[in-house]
Amino acid sequence: MALVLTETQTEFRRSVRALLHANSPVSEHRRLRNEADPDGLSRKLWRQMATLGCLGLDTDPDDTGDSTGTESELGGMAELGLVLEQCGRQLAATPMISCILLSSRLLTELGTKRQRALLTEVATGDLLIATAYQEGSRHNPEHVDTVAQLLGDQLSLSGEKRFVIDGHIADWLLVSANIEGLSEPSLGILLVKADSPGVDLTRTTLIDGRNSATVRLNDVKLPRNAVLGDVSPPPHHATVLEEVLARAALAQAAEMMGIAAELFERTQEHLRTREQFGQKLASFQALKHRMAHWYIELELSRSVLMDANSGVDEGRDDWMSLAHHGKARLGRLCSLATAEAVQLHGGIGVTDESDIGLFLKRAKVAELTLGDSSFHTDAYARRLGI
Amino acid sequence: MSSPPTSPEPPADLDAFREDTRRWLADACPQSMRGPVPPGEGLNWGGSDQADQSEDSRLWLTRMAEQGFTLPEWPVEYGGGGLNRAEAKILRQELKALRARPALTGVGQLLLGPVLLEVGSETQKLEHLPKIARGQVRWCQGYSEPGAGSDLASLQCRAEDQGHHYLVNGSKLWTSYADRADWIFCLVRTDPDAKKHDGIGFLLIDMKSPGISTSKIRLISGESPFCETFFENVTVPKAQMLGEPTGGWGIAKKLLQYERSAAASLGGSSAVGGGSMLELAKEVVGLQHGTLADPELRLRIAQLKMDQSAMALSARRVGEEKREGTVGGTGAILKYVGTELNKKRYEVLMSILGTQGLGWDGSEYKPRDLATTRAWLRSKANSIEGGTSEIQLNIIAKRVLGMPD
C-alpha cells in the first residue's frame, strides 16, 4: 500500500466496518460497562472477527493453518490498521493489541515450533494470551526487576507486572524477565500458563470500562523451555521486544485515528444541528477555524499512519522511526480531538448520557498505552541522532 | 488544477532520451550553476533586467530555453519542450543528479503561464507564452490593493471601457518586484455596478505603458521584494483582457491555486546554507551523553522533523489521490501547513543559532548566519501572502467541511 487504499483493502475495511456496526455499536460498549461483564469484552465478537481473518493478520499462515481463511493478499500492518481504526470508531473492546499485536507477534518472532502451536487456537479466537512487560506506572520496557532464576532444568519466576492488558481473562501470559544463572544475564520472554501455582492475577477496572491486570509472580516453577526460543545460547529478546512494542504502538495509533475521526464527525454534526443566538453553531467563525484546524491535524495524521504502515510492511530501514512518529502524533491528535469534542459539545459533552465521554476515556487509555507522545518523541529524536 | 498539455507522441526510447539528456546537461550546465545557491545570490527570474545575474546564469537560461527545457511539458509552439510526462520526469531526475539549479523561475512560469494555457486566446498564447518560456519577459502580479487585502474581491482599481482600449486608474500593493518586471497581470474593476465578484477583469499590462510608476516597500528583513504600483490614466489595448471582461475572478482563483501549491512547498526543506538543521544543531548546541545538550530544543527539532515529514507525505498523498481519481479535501490544507511550518522552521533555526543569529551585518557573522536571520524575518510573510492562514481556514471550513456562512 502506498498512500491510497487498494480495492482489496477498501473491500476488507467495508467488511470489518459492517461486522462491527452490526455487533459492536457504542451501546454494546456501554452495556458491557454497566453490567460489569466478567470478561469486559465480547468473546462472540472476537470469534466473529476470527472468521473474517482479523486474528491471523500478524502471524505466519503456516502457524495458524487455514482456519483463519485469511486471503494471501491481506496480512500486515496496513490491514491491522484498518481493523483497529474501525474498532476505534465503534469503541469495540477487543484483545487485538494484547493478544494479536503483542503476544502472537512475540510468539511468531521468538517461539519454537512447539510454542507457536498455540497460535492455531489464538487465530480461531479460542485462546487468549496477554503480554506482561510493564512494571512501573510509566511505559519503560527496559525497566525489568522480574527475575527468572535458572536452577538445573527449572526456572523460578518472581516479580510483579502492572497494566497487563486483558490479563484478567488470559489463558497464557508472556512475561519479560531477567534470566539469571546463565553465562551472562539476559532479558528473556517466558511463556507461562495463567493458572500456574504462584501466579496471582488481580483484575483492574480502567476508566474506559476495559480491564487489565496486576500480575504477581511468586516463585513460579517453570521448565527451562518456557523461555521463548531457547536459553542456550542466552536469549537477547530485548531488541525483538522493542520492535514488537513499536509495531503494537503503531496499531494502537490506528485505533486512535478512528477515535479522533469519529469524534470529529460527531462534533461536526452537533455544530450543524445545534442553534444558539438564533443561528447554527457551525456558522460562527471562531468554531469554523477550530474545526478547520482539527481537520488539518486529522489529515496530517492519516498521511503519517498510512506511510508508517506501508513502511513496516515493506521492511523499510526507518520503520521504527515511522512507528514512533505515528504514536507520538496520534497521542497529540487525540488530546486535541477529545478536548475539542467535549468543549464544542458544551454541557452535554460532560454527561455520562453522551457517548463523547466514552471516547474521551478510551482515548486517554490508548494515549498512555505502549508509550505516550513524550516517550515516542524522545525515541524518534534518538533515531535522528540528536 | 490541470496539468499542462503533453506532447501526443509516445516516447520512442526513454533510455536513449535519458542518455542524450544527461550528455547534453553535462555540457550545458556551467559548474557555478550546480549545488545550492549561495547566500546573496538569487535564481534567474528572467526579463529584460538581468543586471544581478552572473554570466553563467544568463548562459544557463539561454541554453535551457533553446531546448524548451525551462517549461519541458509545454507545447513546442508556445516555447516549451513538448516532452511527455515520462520524459519530463527523466529531465527532472537528471537535473537533480547534477544538482543543477533551476534555470528560470518566477510568476510568469509558475502562475500566469499555466492559466494562459488554460484560458488564453490563441493570439494571447502565441504572444506571451514563448517569451515566458525563454525568460525574455518578467511578469509581476497585481492583485492586492491598499483597501483590498484578504477581501480581495473588493478591489477598486478601475478599467474603463473607452471603445478601443481600457483606461486604467488606481493602485496595486504587494506587487512583487514590480520595479524590475516587464509586464503585470492585474485584477481590475470593469463593472462598478455589478456584485463585487462579477465586475472584475483580468488584464495584461505592459509596464512600459505611460502612467505607470512603482515605489518599493522596505520589509523587516531589510529587503524590498514588494512594491506599490500606481496607474494614472494608463491606456491598455482591449486584446489584452484575458477571458471575459467580467470573468476575471474565476481566472484569479485558478491562478491562486497554483500560487498556493507553490507556497506549500516551502515547508518541506530543512536545508540551511548548504547543511542540514541536524548538523547545525550538533555543531552549535553540541551533544551531551549522545543527545543534544538542550533537551527542550532537541524535542522541538524532533517535532519539526515529524511535522515536515507529515507535510511532505500529505502532499504526496494528494498527488496519489489525484492519479487514482479519489480526491478528498487534503489539498486544501497544504498552503496553511506549508507556510506555518516554514515559520516554525525558522524559529527553531533561530533558537539553534543563539546570539549568532542576532547579527544584522558585519564580519563577526558567517554568511550562513546572516542569511538565516534575514530568511527568518522574510518567513513571517509566508502565512500572509497568497491568502492568509485565516483565509485558508475559512476555505477549509466552507469548501471541505461544508460549514454555512
Instruction: Supply A187's cell numbers.
Output: 532479558
- Shared domain for B274 and B393, answered yes or no, is yes
The span from the CA of B215 to the CA of B354, in Å, is: 35
State residue A257's pLDDT score: 98
Q: What average pLDDT score do residues B58-84 get?
A: 94
Work out the pLDDT band at B275, boundaries 50, 70, 90. low
- Shared domain for B281 and B307, answered yes or no, is yes
State residue B12's pLDDT score: 65
Evaluated on CA atoms B19, B22, B27, B28, the torsion sign reads positive
Question: Are B403 and A291 inside 8 Å of each other by CB?
Answer: yes
Does A382 reach chain B within 8 Å, measured CB to CB?
yes
Question: Are B397 and A289 inside 8 Å of each other by CB?
Answer: yes
State residue A65's pLDDT score: 59
- Shared domain for B143 and B129, answered yes or no, is no
Residue A136 has pLDDT above 80, yes or no: yes
B270 with B308: CB under 8 angstroms? yes
- Shared domain for B98 and B117, answered yes or no, is yes
CA of A304 vs chain B CAs: smallest distance (Å)? 6
For residue B48, give the CATH number of its domain. Answer: 1.10.540.10
Does A292 reach chain B within 8 Å, measured CB to CB?
yes
- Shared domain for B155 and B129, answered yes or no, is no
Residue B2 has pLDDT above 60, yes or no: no
Question: Mean pLDDT across chain B, nearest whole number?
Answer: 91
Strand segments, DSSP code E, in chain A are: 129-132, 147-151, 154-165, 172-180, 186-193, 199-205, 211-223, 275-276, 279-280
Report if residue B110 sits inside a domain: yes
Closest CB from B301, B330, B392 relative to A299: B330
Question: Mean pLDDT across chain A, nearest whole number?
Answer: 93
State residue B103's pLDDT score: 94
Report if residue B29 sits inside a domain: yes
State residue A97's pLDDT score: 97
Across the A/B interface, how many CB contacts are shorter than 8 Å?
A: 113
* pLDDT tens readout for residues A280-302: 999 999 999 999 999 999 999 99
CA of B259 vs chain A CAs: smallest distance (Å)? 20
* Higher pLDDT among residues B85 and A14, named by residue: A14
Top residue of A274, A296, A301, A320 to mutate, by most chain B CBs within 10 Å, is A296
Domain end point (choices B217, B251, B285): B251
CA of A46 vs chain B CAs: smallest distance (Å)? 33
Does A381 reach chain B within 8 Å, measured CB to CB?
yes
Relative to beta strand B212-217, strand B139-142 is unpaired
Question: Are B281 and A386 inside 8 Å of each other by CB?
Answer: yes
Q: What average pLDDT score do residues B328-343 get?
A: 91
- Shared domain for B118 and B156, answered yes or no, is no
* pLDDT tens readout for residues B72-88: 999 999 999 999 989 99
Q: What average pLDDT score do residues B369-382 get?
A: 93
Report if residue B334 sits inside a domain: yes
Residue B370 has pLDDT above 70, yes or no: yes
- Shared domain for B182 and B237, answered yes or no, is yes
Phi, psi values for residue B376, rounded to 5°: -60, -45
* pLDDT tens readout for residues B217-254: 999 999 888 999 999 999 999 999 999 999 999 999 88
Closest CB from B311, B320, B392 relative to A3: B320
Report if residue B6 sits inside a domain: no
CA of A266 vs chain B CAs: smallest distance (Å)? 13
Question: Are A386 and B320 inside 8 Å of each other by CB?
Answer: no
B155 with B174: CB under 8 angstroms? no
The span from the CA of A129 to the CA of B217, in Å, is: 69
* pLDDT tens readout for residues B133-172: 999 999 999 999 999 999 999 999 999 999 999 999 999 9
Query: For residue A289, which residues of chain B lie inside 8 Å, CB to CB?
Result: 390, 393-394, 397
The lowest-confidence range among A47-51, A270-274, B32-36, B353-357 is B32-36
Q: What is the 3-state secondary structure (H, E, C) of A13-74?
A: HHHHHHHHHHHCCHHHHHHHHHCCCCCCCCHHHHHHHHHHCHHHCCCCHHHHCCCCCCCCCC
* pLDDT tens readout for residues A159-173: 999 999 999 999 999
- Shared domain for B275 and B395, answered yes or no, is yes
Residue B261 has pLDDT above 60, yes or no: yes
Residue A67 has pLDDT above 90, yes or no: no
Report if residue B158 sits inside a domain: yes
Residues whose CB is less than 8 angstroms from the CB of residue A342 and which lie 6 or more positions away in sequence, other chains included: A349, A350, A356, A357, A360
Question: Are B329 and A299 inside 8 Å of each other by CB?
Answer: yes
Does B301 reach chain A within 8 Å, measured CB to CB?
yes
Work out the pLDDT band at B361, boundaries 50, 70, 90. very high
Instruction: Supply A228's cell numbers.
Output: 521463548
Q: Counting beta carbons within 10 angstroms of the beta carbon of residue B11, is it exposed (0 to 12), middle (13 to 18) or buried (19 or more)?
A: middle
Question: Are A378 and B299 inside 8 Å of each other by CB?
Answer: yes
Work out the pLDDT band at A56, boundaries 50, 70, 90. confident
Instruction: Note the ipTM here.
Output: 0.94
Domain end point (choices B92, B112, B133): B133
State residue B271's pLDDT score: 47
State residue A341's pLDDT score: 98
Relative to beta strand B158-161, strand A211-223 is unpaired
Work out the pLDDT band at B11, boundaries 50, 70, 90. low
The span from the CA of B348 to the CA of B333, in Å, is: 22
Closest Cα to residue B53, out of B16, B12, B102? B102
Work out the pLDDT band at A235, boundaries 50, 70, 90. confident
Evaluated on CA atoms B77, B79, B81, B85, the torsion sign reads negative
State residue B266's pLDDT score: 61
Closest Cα to residue A329, out of A228, A381, A253, A226? A253
DSSP A163-213: EEETGGG-SEEEEEEEEESSSS-EEEEEEEETTSTTEEEEEEE-TTS-EEE
CA-to-CA separations, B369 to B19, B112, B282, in angstroms, rounded: 40, 35, 15
Q: What residue of B is the nearest CA neighbor of A382?
A: B291
Domain end point (choices B133, B153, B177): B133
Work out the pLDDT band at B270, boundaries 50, 70, 90. very low
- Shared domain for B277 and B388, answered yes or no, is yes
CA-to-CA separations, B180 to B170, B187, B375, in angstroms, rounded: 20, 20, 21
State residue B73's pLDDT score: 92
Q: What residue of B is the nearest CA neighbor of A296?
A: B333
For residue B241, give the CATH number of its domain. Answer: 2.40.110.10
| Total of domains in chain B | 3
Q: Chain B neighbours among A 303-322 (CB < 8 Å)?
A: 303-304, 306-307
Does A2 reach chain B within 8 Å, measured CB to CB?
yes
Report if residue B261 sits inside a domain: no
- Shared domain for B143 and B120, answered yes or no, is no
Question: Are B310 and A328 inside 8 Å of each other by CB?
Answer: no
- Shared domain for B303 and B386, answered yes or no, is yes
State residue B1's pLDDT score: 36
For residue B280, give the CATH number of its domain. Answer: 1.20.140.10
Does A278 reach chain B within 8 Å, measured CB to CB?
no
Question: Are B302 and A329 inside 8 Å of each other by CB?
Answer: no
Sorted by where each starts, the structural domains of chain A and their CATH numbers stand as 7-126 (1.10.540.10), 130-236 (2.40.110.10), 239-384 (1.20.140.10)
Query: For residue A285, which residues of chain B lie inside 8 Å, CB to CB?
Result: 394
Report if residue B206 sits inside a domain: yes
Question: Are A289 and B393 inside 8 Å of each other by CB?
Answer: yes
CA-to-CA separations, B304 to A322, B164, B267, B277, B336, in angstroms, rounded: 14, 56, 10, 10, 15
Report if residue B226 sits inside a domain: yes
Q: What residue of B is the nearest CA neighbor of A383?
A: B302
Query: For residue B341, which residues of chain A lie inside 8 Å, CB to CB?
Result: none
* pLDDT tens readout for residues A77-105: 999 999 999 999 999 999 999 999 999 99
Work out the pLDDT band at B3, boundaries 50, 70, 90. very low
Domain membership of residue B294 as a residue range: 269-400
Question: Are B306 and A385 inside 8 Å of each other by CB?
Answer: no
The span from the CA of A273 to the CA of A321, in Å, is: 42
- Shared domain for B217 and B166, answered yes or no, is yes
Top residue of B277, B316, B318, B401 to mutate, by most chain A CBs within 10 Å, is B401
Q: What residue of A is the nearest CA neighbor of B301?
A: A381
